[in-house]
Amino acid sequence: MVKAKFGVRYLNKSLNTQLMSIIEIINDTISRVKSLPINCALAAISGGVDSTTAAVLVRRAIGDRLRAVFIDTGFMRTNEPDQVKSLLSNVLPIEIVDARDYFYRELIGISDAEEKRVRFREVFYTVLSRLAREFSCDWLVQGTIAPDWIETKGGIKTQHNVLEQLGINTVERYGFKLIEPLRELYKDQVREVARQLGIPSEIINRQPFPGPGLSIRAVGRLTLEKLDVVRRATEIVERRLADLSLSQYFAAAWEYEFEDGRDLPRSLDGLSVSVFRVRATGVKGDSRAYGHVALVKGNLANWEDVYGIYEALTASYDVTHVIYGLVERPRGNYFVSIRAISTEDFMTADVPRIPPDRLMALAREIMGNDERVAAVGYDVTPKPPSTIEYE
């Protein structure tokens, strides 16, 4: 039974056993897809390892009856559509679909995290549904992996690519059936499948980028200006931290505005505490939390102490992310948070020990590059109690 085998976590990590199991998974998937009555299957590629691996697997089964597209939502990083196309040039042909105007029309102005995510999902699948009709495709290939639907079903946050697991009938709603060949696998297993399929290491090791992209990293009310601020800061964070082999590293931005936070302490071990106006997601006791983002400022006797300051604030208060302030100035409207994590499976994550000099230099470059940025900090909250993203 293919399905049962998919559910197995590979406890025996001895190389041969793992390789055998992965090869079995690949062969089983290809023969299962071959047996489906597929006229044409559409694959939405992001350039990440999950969607690329899913599409390559299905292409092995049905050849040119697979049509792969990259949807430019307008929430991509600088030059991302072209970069993805060239990264994949020897892997599979993709067509870029420019849907920016439609996404902007539907999402600009939304503030609530879940509303943004649900609206993004609706627009994304409406675009795919139109393309499927245009190409006469009756199936959609998705790179959904286990943590995507586990966290969505658990109510942590709506991952953009989870439909069936929420009871959404994709045939009725969008006109296609789903093929999700990786749905029972975790990230490390997907990377192993990708290696076996000969997918280039630049794709396998590409850090994950969420489907809703920068729309959920421009935290709070979505505006074109905030998107631009986060896009510019992202470029710098990605360039400056690329050599550290971190699982994920990026920037997020929101207004440099504070609220009373009356129930929160004003200081903590000699450091000042304030709370931003925006809310951000977290996961506490296996449940979703949508709480305050705290900014902690002041001199630390010992830099290592920075990694412990989240505990008191997240344990006793409605706080999901704690950020340590690195630099600020008396002008500008936005705060930029540097987010970096190390993780195996993305269900839990640690904050890596980046040397403070390096963080300061990074923060100064972000400020120097954009007059609209008033302050920059480092998010020191692991998952749980935070989530990796802010929304």
Interacting residues with ligand XMP (CB under 6 A): 151, 157, 159-161, 208, 210-212, 248, 346, 383, 387-389
Closest distance between ligand XMP and the C-beta of residue 189, in Å?
A: 15
Tell the smallest beta-carbon distance from residue 220 to ligand XMP (Å). 16
Token code pair at residue 320: 């999901």
Comparing CB distances to ligand XMP, the nearer of 375 and 388 is 388
CA end-to-end span of the chain: 37
Q: Please, which residues have CB within 8 angstroms of residue 387's CB and are 6 or more apart in sequence?
A: 156, 157, 281, 282, 283, 320
> With respect to ligand XMP, which residue has the nearer C-beta, 99 or 374?
99
| Angle at 78 (CA atoms; ends 75, 83), nearest 5 degrees | 105
In whole angstroms, how far apart are CA 85 and each of 52, 90, 93, 141, 212?
12, 10, 8, 18, 19
Q: Which is nearer to ligand XMP, 174 or 374 (CB)?
A: 174
H helix or E strand, kind and range, residue 289: strand 287-297
Identity of residue 388: I
* Cis bond before residue 147 (omega within 30° of 0): no
State how far Cα 379 lies from the chain centre.
16
CB 211 within 8 A of CB 160: yes
Smallest distance from ligand XMP to CB 391, Å: 8
Instruction: CB nearer to ligand XMP: give 62 or 158.
Output: 158
The nearest distance, CB 198 to ligand XMP, in angstroms, is 23
Which pair of tokens denotes residue 175? 């006109």
- Closest CB to ligand XMP among residues 324, 390: 390
Measured from the CB of residue 246, what is the shortest distance to ligand XMP in angstroms?
A: 12
CB 269, min distance to ligand XMP, A: 28
**37 Cβ partners below 8 Å, 6+ apart?**
none
Compute the distance between CA of residue 391 and CA of residue 389 in angstroms, rounded to an integer: 6
Question: Residues 71, 161, 47, 102: what is their CA dihedral angle, to the nearest 10 degrees?
Answer: 20
Distance in Å, CB of 151 to ligand XMP, minimum: 5
Closer by beta carbon to ligand XMP, 189 or else 273: 189
Our CB check for ligand XMP shows the closer of 157 and 240 to be 157
